[in-house]
Amino acid sequence: MKSFPMFIRTSGRRVVIVGGGEQAAQKTRLILKTDAEIVLVSPDLDAELQALVAEGRARHVPRLTAEVFDGAAMGFIATGCPGLDAAVHGLAQAVRCPVNVVDRPDLCDLTTPALVDRDPVVIAIGSEGTAPVLTREIKTRLEESLPPNLGGLAALAGRLRPVVEARVPRDQRRPFWAWVFKGGPRGTWTRGNEREAAQEIKAAIAAGGAPQTKTKGHVSLVGAGPGARDLLTLRAVERMQEADVIFYDRLVDADVLELARRDAERVYVGKVVGAHAWPQDRINAVIVAEARRGRRVVRLKSGDPGVFGRVGEELTAIRAAGIDVDVVPGITAASAAAAAMGETLTERGVSDTLILTTGMAQAGAALPDSTRLASPGTTSVFYMSVGQAGRIRDDLLARGLSPKTRIRLGVDVSKPTQQLLDCPLDALEQTLRAADCQGCAVIMVTWPARTLGAMSDEARVA
């Protein structure tokens, strides 16, 4: 290492920022995360910095002298003028104040890392100035993996540490904190039940240590999105990293599973139309059985669990067993397909109603009337309907939709095999066959309220 990473105390200390423009403002925003006294040194300040001075959050010193650096914890030099920056660096050196000079690594005593802030837990990522893009990518991944409220749990632990030392025997303290941060309290806290977690921790302290009873199980029904792992929500990633066991289906991409804890058990419960190796009743039973063992269970479903995901059946079984459960929504295929195409699902004056429907039905039931709501002013998105494309085409034609209406097709949306296709309604079946589509697709049909050509100039401008 050419630089040693450490944290610098800011309580009761000054941080000097030389400059009054945007570069200085960027450094000021960073230091505003701390409790340091901020000193802004410049003849003039931009509006943002002036507001901070007016609010009493920073102090303004119009004239630069070496004394302004004397005793400061650190300084940032961001005048925007290379020659002036170098001169100011010399003044700071004269009083031994370490400084960061913006865009001049050769003059920097300090570099500013990328920060993941879960105060009081803070993670700093640096590359000694060699790869800032990489450090930002690492920061993004850490932001995804750490719950936003994790710092609150660390702060609570800090407040409770004295009473733990008084009530919990020395040889039980490490197991106690392991239980807090790796066991049930952390899971309860990060799910948003902070009061319940705090009460659980305090009860354990009063009892003299972590409970020895069996951990209470929990199930999360998690939407994995359309395929690409960077389309998962932060909450979905959190649940996967908390999980002891993950049940997933055939549409969940392998890259998504890489976001789980390394030691989490992964169980494939894939179902293929016409060949249900894992019938729904069996899936319900194993989810409940694992949760009853005190394990944190994730049922990972492609897209959004509440959109043709059979989440209702699983919720019913889990609740009937008296097990805690939550549902984490995901990006559904309709939204992902429209985004990939750079288009909208609704548009003022064209389509003000969105219909999500399917061409499939429960085994033994009649096929649904999937087009019954289609009419001018609607966009219909058909899920699991490739095998019913001919019937859907005929039904739409019978309802009066033109055979030349543009149909949008999203195949394997957001995956490496993604195909985005257009065709007229009367060529729907042929287009799907030519694309060798085997079922993982959405069919999108917009039936305009009126053509754009018929809209007035005033309406288009509005």
pLDDT tens-digit map of 75-86: 999 999 999 999
Q: In which domain, by residue range, is 172 found?
A: 150-207
Which two three-digit tokens encode residue 167?
């009530």
For helices 311-320 and 280-292, give the axis angle rounded to 10 degrees.
40
Cis check for the bond before 368: say yes or no (omega within 30 of 0): no
Own/partner pairs, 142-147, CB within 8 angstroms, 24+ separation: 142/116, 143/116, 143/234, 144/232, 144/234, 144/237, 145/237, 145/238, 145/241, 145/259, 146/116, 146/118, 146/121, 147/118, 147/189, 147/190, 147/234, 147/238
Say whether both 430 and 444 belong to one domain: yes
- 265 phi, psi to nearest 5 deg: -75, 135
Is there a catalytic annotation at residue 415?
Answer: no
Report yes or no: 422 and 444 within 8 Å, Cβ to Cβ: no
Mean pLDDT of 128-139: 86
- Looking up residue 89, the CATH number of its domain turns out to be 3.40.50.720
> What pLDDT digit, counting tens, does each position of 361-393 carry?
776 778 889 999 999 999 999 999 999 999 999
Say whether both 299 and 243 belong to one domain: yes
Say whether both 339 and 449 belong to one domain: yes
Say whether both 53 and 158 belong to one domain: no
- Classified as helix, coil or strand, 232 is coil
> What pLDDT digit, counting tens, does each position of 427-456 carry?
999 999 999 887 689 999 999 996 444 433
Give the DSSP letter of residue 112: P
Say whether both 159 and 251 belong to one domain: no
Say whether both 291 and 349 belong to one domain: no
Domain presence at residue 259: yes
Tell me the C-alpha distance between 22 and 46, whole Å. Answer: 8
Tell me the C-alpha distance between 85 and 34, whole Å. Answer: 24
Say whether both 271 and 351 belong to one domain: no
Task: Return the percentage of the chain with pLDDT > 70, whole number.
Answer: 94
Looking up tokens 């549409």, which residue turns up?
251
Q: How many domains does the chain have?
A: 4
Say whether both 322 and 399 belong to one domain: no
Catalytic residue selected from 139, 216, 271, 415: 271
Is there a catalytic annotation at residue 46?
Answer: no
Say whether both 446 and 340 belong to one domain: yes
- Strand 245-248 relative to strand 37-41: parallel, antiparallel, unpaired? unpaired
Last residue of a domain, one of 331, 360, 389: 331
Neighbours of 200 (CB within 10 A): 19
Catalytic residue selected from 27, 85, 244, 249: 249
Say whether both 101 and 160 belong to one domain: no
